[in-house]
Amino acid sequence: MNDNLSKAEKEEKVFFRDRVTTMNAEGKRIWMFPKKPSGKLTNYRWMVATFLLGLLFIGPWLTYKGEPFMLFNIIERKFIIFGQVFWPQDFHLVVLSLITLIVFIILFTVIFGRIFCGWVCPQTIFMEFVFRQIEYLIEGDYSKQKKLARQEWDFEKIWKKSTKHVIFYGIAFAISNTFLAYIIGIEQLEKLITDGPMAHLGSFIAILLFSGVFYFIFAFFREQVCIIACPYGRLQGVLLDSKSIVVAYDYKRGEPKGKHNPLENRTESGKGDCIECQSCVTVCPTGIDIRNGTQLECINCTACIDACNTIMDKVGQPRGLIRYDSEKGISTGKKSIFNARSIAYSAILTVLLIVVGALFTFRSDVEATIIRVPGTLFQEYGPTKLANMYKMQLVNKTRTDMPIELKLISPVGEINYLTDKLFLKKETVGEANFMVILEKGLLKTSNTPIKFGIYSNDKLITTYKLNFVGPNNLDN
């Protein structure tokens, strides 16, 4: 090892891949004080974050045909996604959609790396564009935050810390109520609020606890979510390869590093473009040095790209020393993001999209379940006929009331309702008992296939097949 390196540099050379940057050699946490980033990519991220936060908080107020545009009512097992109502009977669609989403995320990660984490992830959006901004506003930029953390608990520190944490909890409470609105609906949430906490004490305590979890995450746990808790971050080592796009340092251009001297010709002196300013490190929310290569902690937030580009502009060097690129792109100078793995994932994703699209297209408005009444066999119905008793359950997935008529398509027979005929109200479940009556001469076996048609306003909605039970001697 080079003896000219400082002790800290030697330790970094040995340990930067052996432990996370937020932990020292004794295993204690190192608190992060990142410098406030600025630049072109940061401005773009602000636009994306503002748009997503706007969608989040406006979402519960949006309605479609008198109902929420988005609803995830786990209690009543009712889900509305982009205005489409889904019930437990549509669980297979939800599962396939989730599998498709997972394959898409894998494919996206294989090609574009961890861009999702830096641009779209809720943890990053809330931390960097809400809570961190409040911290900058109250405590100042990173140098002032460090100074405040070191100073004694005087009036200034108590006032600033107290104000910050009160606001943090208030925002966490607002976020919790927003998520609750997605579960129970904005009207029900308004009712809970207007009735007062004592009228719904259990719900109020639950929302306070949930807010406390949010507060703890963004006030104390912070970047540890991305480094320790998030499984997606841990999968990067499996999903990324040399062609994946990541935030990367161009070591071929930047090495060897050297301090900036405006009177020096860096090319003639054998120095690279990196001037050892440490700007890329001071702005990193997880505290890594991107010049060490792709690391677990990197969330592709682009703060180091903006910081480096700003310095390159000041010293008259071209931008892009740190940029979005792949390891292969930097080493060869050629960009190629497609390989056998990404093509295979693309093929799987295409098949899944076709299957999910077809299932959504042919999704029935009414879900029917018809079973023979348990414990019953055939019954004699006059001298020439037999009867079976059935129970029918129908789920109306639409937003309109539906009169229901059940017809026997095959074979020829009769249907006698044992209850009133069904009139399904919108988004409800209805049940009816009925009897199917067939001529004995039509029965050739003890289990005769029959087919029902379920109609509404003389329009066939769906069909259902099952068996009609007859005497066992028919099988002889």
List, in sequence order, the alpha helices (H) in 132-230. Answer: 132-139, 142-150, 155-184, 186-195, 201-216, 224
pLDDT of res. 91 = 82
Q: What's the mean per-residue pLDDT of the chain? A: 88
The number of domains in the chain is 1
Amino acid at 131: F
Does residue 444 lie in a domain region?
yes
129 compared with 240, residue with greater pLDDT: 129
| In the predicted structure, residue 84 carries a pLDDT above the cut 70 | yes
| In the predicted structure, residue 2 carries a pLDDT above the cut 80 | no
CB neighbours of 184 closer than 8 A, spacing ≥ 6? 73, 75, 192
Query: In angstroms, what is the C-alpha Rg of the chain?
Result: 32
Beta bridge partners of 248: 323
Does residue 417 lie in a domain region?
yes
CATH number, residue 469:
2.60.40.10
Maximum alpha-carbon separation in the chain: 114
Give, for 416, the enclosing helix (H) or strand (E): strand 414-417
Please give the backbone phi and psi of residue 372, each rounded to the nearest 5 degrees, phi first.
-70, 140
Residue 294 is encoded by which pair of tokens?
Answer: 């792709």
The terminus-to-terminus CA distance of the chain in angstroms comes to 91
pLDDT of res. 338 = 67
Residue 316 is encoded by which pair of tokens?
Answer: 């008259």
Q: How far is CA 309 from the centre of its chain?
A: 32
Query: Helix crossing, 186-195 with 155-184: angle to 10°?
Result: 130
Beta strands in 203-309 (DSSP E): 246-249
Tell me which residue range forms the domain holding 461. Answer: 366-475
Does residue 413 lie in a domain region?
yes
Does residue 415 lie in a domain region?
yes
What are the pLDDT digits (tens) for 95-133?
Answer: 888 888 888 888 888 888 888 999 999 999 999 999 999
Top mean pLDDT of 154-158, 439-443, 470-474 is at 154-158
Residue 284 is encoded by which pair of tokens?
Answer: 């990193």
| In the predicted structure, residue 324 carries a pLDDT above the cut 50 | yes
230 compared with 475, residue with greater pLDDT: 230
Residue 468 is encoded by which pair of tokens?
Answer: 């009609």
d(CA 125, CA 175): 12
CB neighbours of 449 closer than 8 A, spacing ≥ 6? 465, 466, 467, 468
pTM given for the model: 0.82
Are 41 and 373 in contact, with CB atoms under 8 Å apart?
Answer: no
**Three-class secondary structure of residue 272 per DSSP:** coil
Beta bridge partners of 408: 452
d(CA 301, CA 294): 13
pLDDT above 90 coverage of the chain, percent:
50
CA dihedral 248, 250, 254, 260 (to 10 degrees): -50
pLDDT of res. 153 = 94
Residue 228 is encoded by which pair of tokens?
Answer: 């320790």
pLDDT of res. 290 = 94
Q: How many CB atoms lie within 10 A of CB 150?
A: 8
Does residue 198 lie in a domain region?
no
Does residue 357 lie in a domain region?
no
Amino acid at 465: K
d(CA 130, CA 124): 9
Give, for 359, the enclosing helix (H) or strand (E): helix 340-361
- CB burial of residue 200 (10 Å; 0-12, 13-18, 19+): middle
| In the predicted structure, residue 41 carries a pLDDT above the cut 80 | yes
Does residue 469 lie in a domain region?
yes
Residue 415 is encoded by which pair of tokens?
Answer: 């249907």
